[in-house]
């Protein structure tokens, strides 16, 4: 059994102002996405510039925070919201949902695309590799807070979490940090480094996250007020992750069934001027030869 490191959830206290590690993890997530986005934008033919990346991250941050909070309220704590609707605005009390944050980001990408004339899947393909590091940061914040722990275990790395009873438990936050954060980042970042058909990168992200989250839910302790949803083992997290797995499979099937231009290819074509004499209809036509 490993000892759980007793880390104060409050990183800095300045009088009445308290800065929590969980909030810092969100700043790390947005900062990492901004840095990675600028790095990708500087690749030849990307079609992106630094100003657009900053605007994109701003939209994404709003989507994550608003969607994550609304999603947690609706998916995991609706009874509390029904009795106290104002609680949805008390962000400092905690409570965020990845699936809600994902929906919020998708809405934000749609709004950003309308403003900057980018297609929806062009945006999701670009954003997908920027997300996993943020997921890792968020799970590290959960671990520091001593929340979202796993089920009891006899494995040597089990931990006794504060408020979770005397039994050692799976550090499921660290499992998710490793799988949904580090491993998924490597997979999606490497996969997206080369031109891919539109929707392929989004499909890999959705499939990868859905599979990893579904798997970890088997050892993660379900919320007390929800328990298991069905079959004595299905959790709310698995119920919400199953559509992601299906979505990822469908997107990959559509992407490779009828390949289209990748983001990099489309941007390169759009930014490359036509050579004189080779404009549409400006070239010489070859005479048809009869015979075979």
Query: Which tens digits make up the pLDDT trace of 171-183?
Result: 999 999 999 999 9
Percent of the chain with pLDDT strictly greater than 90:
63
| Res 131: pLDDT | 97
Q: What tens digit of pLDDT does each residue of 104-115 get?
A: 999 999 999 999
Q: For CA atoms 172, 177, 180, 183, give the dihedral sign.
A: negative
| Res 288: pLDDT | 44
- Phi and psi angles of residue 153, each rounded to the nearest 5 degrees, phi first: -150, 155
Residues in the chain: 292
CB 219: neighbour CB atoms within 10 A? 17
User: Within 13 A of 64's CA, how many CA atoms are on the CB side?
Assistant: 17
| Res 133: pLDDT | 97
What is the mean pLDDT of the segment spanning 134-138? 96
Tokens 């929906």 belong to residue: 103
Q: Nearest CA to 40 among 31, 30, 50?
A: 50
140/75: higher pLDDT: 140
Instruction: Please return the burial class of 292, using the count of CB atoms within 10 Å of its CB with bins 0-12, 13-18 and 19+.
Output: exposed
| Res 290: pLDDT | 43
Strands 17-20 and 10-14: antiparallel
CB of 117 closer than 8 Å to CB of 72: no
* Mean pLDDT rounded to a whole number for the chain: 87
211/45: higher pLDDT: 211
Looking at the predicted structure, is the pLDDT value of residue 127 above 90?
Answer: yes
The packing angle between helices 263-271 and 120-127, to 10°, is 120
Task: Return the CA Rg of the chain.
Answer: 23
Determine which of 18-22, 90-94, 246-250 has the lowest per-residue pLDDT on average: 90-94
Determine which of 67-71, 157-161, 261-265 has the lowest per-residue pLDDT on average: 261-265
| Res 204: pLDDT | 99
Looking at the predicted structure, is the pLDDT value of residue 156 above 90?
Answer: yes
| Res 271: pLDDT | 45
223/206: higher pLDDT: 206
CB 105: neighbour CB atoms within 10 A? 24
The DSSP code for 197 is -
Q: What tens digit of pLDDT does each residue of 211-258 get?
A: 999 999 999 999 877 888 889 889 999 999 999 999 999 999 999 997
Looking at the predicted structure, is the pLDDT value of residue 280 above 50?
Answer: no
CA 200, CA 129: separation in Å to the nearest integer? 12
Looking at the predicted structure, is the pLDDT value of residue 91 above 70?
Answer: no
Looking at the predicted structure, is the pLDDT value of residue 38 above 80?
Answer: yes
CB of 139 closer than 8 Å to CB of 178: no
């Amino acid at each position: 059994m490993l000892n759980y490191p007793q880390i104060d959830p409050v990183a800095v206290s300045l009088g009445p102002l308290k800065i929590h590690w969980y909030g810092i993890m969100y700043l790390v997530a947005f900062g990492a996405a901004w840095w990675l986005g600028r790095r990708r934008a500087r690749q030849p033919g990307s079609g992106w510039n630094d100003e657009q990346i900053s605007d994109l991250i701003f939209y994404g941050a709003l989507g994550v925070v608003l969607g994550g909070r609304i999603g947690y309220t609706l998916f995991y704590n609706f009874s509390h919201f029904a009795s106290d609707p104002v609680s949805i605005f008390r962000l400092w009390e905690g409570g965020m949902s990845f699936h809600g944050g994902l929906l919020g980001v998708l809405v934000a990408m749609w709004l950003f695309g309308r403003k900057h004339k980018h297609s929806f899947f062009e945006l999701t393909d670009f954003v997908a590799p920027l997300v996993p590091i943020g997921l890792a940061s968020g799970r590290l914040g959960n671990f520091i807070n001593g929340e979202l722990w796993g089920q009891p275990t006899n494995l040597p790395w089990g931990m006794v979490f504060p408020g979770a009873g005397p039994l050692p438990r799976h550090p499921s936050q660290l499992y998710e940090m490793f799988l949904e954060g580090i491993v998924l980042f490597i997979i999606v970042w490497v996969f997206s480094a080369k031109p891919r058909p539109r929707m392929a990168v989004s499909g890999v992200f959705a499939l990868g996250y859905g599979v990893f989250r579904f798997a970890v839910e088997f050892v993660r302790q379900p919320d007390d007020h929800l328990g298991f949803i069905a079959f004595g083992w299905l959790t709310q997290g698995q119920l919400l992750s199953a559509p992601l797995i299906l979505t990822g499979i469908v997107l990959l099937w559509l992407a490779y069934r009828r390949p289209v231009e990748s983001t990099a290819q489309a941007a390169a074509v759009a930014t490359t001027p036509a050579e004189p004499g080779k404009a549409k209809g400006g070239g010489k036509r070859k005479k048809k030869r009869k015979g075979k």
